[in-house]
């Protein structure tokens, strides 16, 4: 069996839509690590994250026909599937059961350190450090942990409107800072 090289994303997608197993293997070999990293940001247990990754690739295999290059790159499409699958898992009964059996050594502080490390890796730590503590919490819960506005309101014991307003204000402030540095 000769290994096929896929020179373009378009060629890879074409072969995936034909359910070519070599194309799928190429996809897995080249994208699984990146998708796994994203999943691990939301699913802290490695074995559970590996299960989610497997579900992601099954979903990609089954739904590749729905991918449209005109709407975005293949990686972005897969990234959305991975993120949504991980969020769905964190909202599942299985995850809630898993959370109740976590050892005492795996506390909030260790997961928070992992989160800030991931944020630092993409160069956002300096920006987040400039935000007030309550704003930083909202950003981390919403954008890096995938919680809904309602879940954040419940967790922080704030009215839903306050959470929404805070997020909107943070986005506006970050845009101002970004554009003022560019000019």
* 42, two tokens: 């939301």
CA distance 165 to 171: 10
pLDDT tens for the chain, residues 1 to 183: 445 567 788 999 999 999 999 999 999 999 999 999 889 888 888 889 999 999 999 999 999 999 998 888 899 899 999 999 998 888 876 666 555 444 444 444 444 444 444 544 445 666 777 778 888 888 877 777 777 888 888 888 889 998 889 888 888 877 776 666 555
**Which residues does 111 contact at the CB level (< 8 Å), separation at least 6?**
44
Do residues 56 and 35 make contact, with C-beta atoms less than 8 angstroms apart?
A: yes
**Which residues does 52 contact at the CB level (< 8 Å), separation at least 6?**
39, 43, 82, 85, 86, 89
| CATH (one of 1.10.1060.10, 3.40.47.10, 3.90.280.10, 1.10.10.10) for 103-182 | 1.10.10.10
Do residues 57 and 21 make contact, with C-beta atoms less than 8 angstroms apart?
A: no
Apex 116 CA angle, 115 and 120, nearest 5: 120
pTM for this predicted structure: 0.53
Sign of the torsion formed by the C-alpha atoms of 7, 8, 10 and 15: positive
* Domain ranges (residues) in the chain: 9-99, 103-182
* 40, two tokens: 């691990």
Do residues 23 and 16 make contact, with C-beta atoms less than 8 angstroms apart?
A: yes
Cα distances from 160 to residues 66, 91, 166, in angstroms, run 35, 19, 10
Map residue 4 onto helix, strand or coil: coil
- pLDDT at site 90: 86
| CATH class, range 9-99 | mainly alpha
* pLDDT tens, residue by residue, 28-48: 999 999 999 889 888 888 889
């Amino acid at each position: 069996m000769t290994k096929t090289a896929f020179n373009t994303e378009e060629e890879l997608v074409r072969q995936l839509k034909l359910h070519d197993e070599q194309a799928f293997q190429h996809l897995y070999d080249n994208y699984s690590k990146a998708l796994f990293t994203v999943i691990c940001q939301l699913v802290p247990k490695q074995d559970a994250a590996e299960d989610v990754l497997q579900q992601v690739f099954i979903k990609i295999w089954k739904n590749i026909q729905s991918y449209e290059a005109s709407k975005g790159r293949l990686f972005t499409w897969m990234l959305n599937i991975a993120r949504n699958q991980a969020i769905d898992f964190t909202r599942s009964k299985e995850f809630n059961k898993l959370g109740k059996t976590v050892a005492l050594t795996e506390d909030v502080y260790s997961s928070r350190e992992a989160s800030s490390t991931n944020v630092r890796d993409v160069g956002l730590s300096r920006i987040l450090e400039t935000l007030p503590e309550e704003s930083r919490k909202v950003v981390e819960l919403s954008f890096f942990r995938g919680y809904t506005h309602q879940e954040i309101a419940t967790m922080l014991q704030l009215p839903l409107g306050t959470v929404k307003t805070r997020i909107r204000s943070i986005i506006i402030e970050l845009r101002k800072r970004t554009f003022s540095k560019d000019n």
